[in-house]
Structure 1
Amino acid sequence: MKQFSQFADIIENMQPLGSNDHLPESLRLTRIGNIETYYAPFEYINREARITICGITPGLQQARNAINAARQCLRDKLPHQEVLAQAKQTASFSGPMRSNLVTMLNYLGIPSWLGIHDSEQLFGSHSHLVHYTSALRYPVLVNGKKYNGTPAMLKQSTLREQIETSLLEEIRILPDNLFLPLGPRVSEVFQLFVNQGVLSQDQVLVGMPHPSGANAERIAYFLERKPREVLSNKVNPDTIDRARVALLAKMSALSETA
């Protein structure tokens, strides 16, 4: 909330960001070498959540959506807490990756565990059940493009500091949640927290392909929609098979104890 208060006036008085607009310099938090971090309103933590879905960092489209939503809410004179909640819900995993995420969550049986019919409800009528976040809370750009995991977060001091402040804060507020890290770099972060005793291994669902459209082939194989024999050499089917079996077994066990 404190961070948002510093930028609320700037956001309220901005022009809406278009689909090709860069984030304005007025929202830049840090620049160290070729790594830049920008502010976007992603602080809201859903304390009612039962599952937390964690990406690597908000993309430019997500950041623009959050900023535009916050701008409108501020102009409507909503309280800051409500502004942050609406901005987060509007922007989280927005764009093409949302449909992939919903499909894979359904495949794993997340709706049954949560007592809902479809994971699409997590973006609407049952959004109170999920907390969306990123290992790096605010948008990080490397050479002007969305950070993709290089350099490794845990080996880069400014990025690791963000993880050990913002993300750790969220985990401690949601200690009983089920956590779904998206992608290998985010999984490394959660494995570190497991090793440190912050989380138990049973709380972390590791191995689901990232829902990015660039991962279409891996997603199709994970969902058993594409046979092994027609996969390209970019896909390691054994790794996906192991992850699928482990994830389904973990969800089965959780459903039995729910």
Structure 2
Amino acid sequence: MKLLDGKIAIVTGGSGDIGASIVKTFVKHGAFVIFTFLSSKEKAEKLSIELKLTTFCESYQIDLKDIDATKFFIQRTIEKYGRLDILVNNAGIIKDNFLLRMSKHNWDKVIKTNLYSIFNLTKYAIMPMIKQKKGNIINMSSIIGFTGNSGQSNYSTSKAGIIGFTKSIAKELGTKNIRCNAISPGYIYTKMNDNLPQTIKENFMRNIPLKRAGTPQDIANSSLFLASELSDYITGSVLHVNGGLF
């Protein structure tokens, strides 16, 4: 059973570990996926080659902080494919440091990448969804947006902001039959999380009731659920995928 048969989806940050798993899972379930990347061109090309065997994906290089470029990207998508059914705002970065040592540059970079990109893309993606009278938006938050974490004030602020954004958009667009939900991953084994200090990793593992780190596929499966008709009466919600950590 293909849960996304015939759907057109955008997945941002598609060349990262979680993004690539979401792209592959959506394609497996019948969606055509346009995935974005900023600088990981080699990873994007590798994923494109792998999935173009099914002719169900396209990669697109873009800086999602650029609102004009984002507007053009959405317009191009609609002109080329005729509609947009699913938007997964997955792109994000970390630039950790204690507040006393955090530079304004790294504060701004995380906030702009993690929040401005969602504003820019969602703003223009909802226009065709409103015309279609249907759409589905999934935003990637984090457990850190709920609990906070030492040395991650910029990241936790951005991820907490995504929750407020998600709930507000769900209320704004519910009457238009557009759903908006968020996923809050816990400790997921990715290359990005490899950069976390060892003490933080050990603390996570001690406190996870399921006694394992999550995988990118765990997040992809959760994204599939929220993107499909199986979650048709769910909006404004946060799906916690953390092995019981929070």
**Which of the pair is proportionally richer in strand?**
2
Q: What TM-score do the two structures reach when normalised by structure 2?
A: 0.24
Q: Which has the higher contact order (CA 8 A, sep 6+)?
A: 1
TM-score by length of 1: 0.24
Q: Which has the larger radius of gyration?
A: 1
